[in-house]
Amino acid sequence: MAAITYLTDIEFGAGAVAQIPDRLARLGVRRPLLVSDRGVAAAGLLDAVAPHLPADVPTFLDVPSNPTEEATLAAVALYRERDCDGVVAVGGGSPIDLAKGVALMATHEGAMARFALIEGGLSAITPAVAPVIAVPTTAGTGSEVGRAALITLADGRKLGLVSPHLIPKAAICDPELTLGMPPALTAATALDALSHCLETYLSPRDNPPAEAIALDGAARIWGNVLAAFENGADLAARSALMMGSLQGGLTFQKGLGAVHALSHALGGLKSPNLHHGTLNAILMPAVMRANRAAAPEKFARIETALGIAPGGLEDALAALNSRLGIPAGLKTLGLREEQIDGVVRGALADHSHPTNPRPLTAEDYRSLIESVYV
C-alpha cells in the first residue's frame, strides 16, 4: 500500500508574484515576516515582490548559504518581536528552508534537534506551524513545494526537519524572477533540480505518480538547461527549468539517495562552505554508475526520456557538467582528506541514505568520495 499526497497550492507563470496579496488574505496572514538573503536583495528581486506585501513588512536577510540554527533563531526573535503571523520566503532553497524553520520554531517548544527526522521528530511537528508562502528566485531546490527544511544545527550536524506541515501553504513560482540569473548559478541550480528528479525516480519506494512527475521534470531540465545557461533572458527555457525544479520538489516524498546523503554531509561542514547544487552535480555521475545495476529498467527509461543512448547516462552527465563549467571534483572545492571520515559518517546517518536504490556501506561512500576527489 502506498500513501500518495499532493497538497501544495501553486501559482505558476510569468507575473505570478501579483498573486501574493490574494494568498496572504486566504491564509489570514496580516503581518508576515519577509525572509530572504542579501544576494537576492542586491539583485533587485525584492523590488519585484515588495509592492505585493504589506507596508513596513519586517525583513530578515541574514540567511547563510547553508541555513543554520543560529540564523533561524535570530529570525524567530524578529518574528516574535514584530508579532508576525506568517512568513513570506523569497529566494533559493536557503531562505525557503530557513523560513520553514522559523515557522516551526515560532510555534513549537523545544530545541531544534528534537524536530529532526533522524531524531524521531516527524511526529513532534504539528499543524500549528505558521503559514509560509514561498517565492523561489532560482530553479533548483524545489523547497517551495517540499516537506523538508535542511538546517545545520549548532552542533555541526546538517539535519532534515521533515513533515507535511512544513510544506509551504502556497508556492508562487514566477519564472520572470530567474531572468538574468548568472550562468554558473543557473547551471548549479538546474543540476540540483535534475538530481532531485533522478534520485526520486530511482528510489525504491512505490509511488508511480511521483515517478511520472520526476521523469517529466528530468526531461524538461535536460532539454532546456543549455539554452538557459547560454541566454539568461530566454523565458521559455527559464519556465521549463522552474517547472522541472517544481516537479522534483513534488517527488521528494519518494526519498532521495546517495547523492543527497553525501551532499548533505558535505554541506554541513563549516569549512569549506560548499554549494549544494554544485555538490550534487559533481556526485551524480559517480552515484548513477554505482546504482545502475540495482535498477537497470529505470535507467533505460531515463535514457529514453532524455534522448541518451542506452548505457550512456553517466557519461552524458559528466559531459554536461564539463560544458556547464561545474568544478572537476571535491578537492578543487577545498575538501580535505581528514574530513572524509566525518562525511562518510554523516552520509550513513542522513535521511536520504535508506532510499538509495542500492544499499551502501561506509566503504561504498568512501569509494564514491574518492572517485570525485580531484
Per-position DSSP letters for 162-198, written without gaps between them: E-GGGS-SEEEE-GGGGTT--HHHHHHHHHHHHHHHH
Mean predicted confidence (pLDDT) in 119-146: 95
**Per-residue model confidence (pLDDT) at position 4:** 54
Q: How confident is the model at residue 5 (pLDDT cuts 50, 70, 90)?
A: low
What pLDDT, in 10s, does the model give residues 39-72?
Answer: 999 999 999 999 999 999 999 999 998 899 999 9
Q: Which residues contact 5 (CB under 8 A, 6 or more apart)?
A: 164, 253
Which residues is 89 bridged to in the sheet?
Answer: 35, 134
Percent of the chain residues topping a pLDDT of 70: 98
| Its pTM surpasses 0.85 | yes
**Per-residue model confidence (pLDDT) at position 287:** 98
Q: How confident is the model at residue 6 (pLDDT cuts 50, 70, 90)?
A: low
Range with the lowest mean pLDDT among 57-61, 63-67, 86-90, 129-133? 63-67
Q: Which residues contact 273 (CB under 8 A, 6 or more apart)?
A: 65, 66
**Does the pLDDT at position 180 exceed 60?**
yes
As given in the structure block, the three cell numbers for residue 178 are 530567474
* Residue where the block lists cell 562525511: 343
How far apart, in whole angstroms, are the C-alpha atoms of residue 79 and residue 143?
21
**Per-residue model confidence (pLDDT) at position 1:** 42
User: 89: closest CA among 150, 38, 37?
Assistant: 37
Which residues is 159 bridged to in the sheet?
Answer: 151
User: 203: closest CA among 154, 258, 148, 284?
Assistant: 258
Domains identified in the chain and CATH numbers? 9-177 (3.40.50.1970), 181-371 (1.20.1090.10)
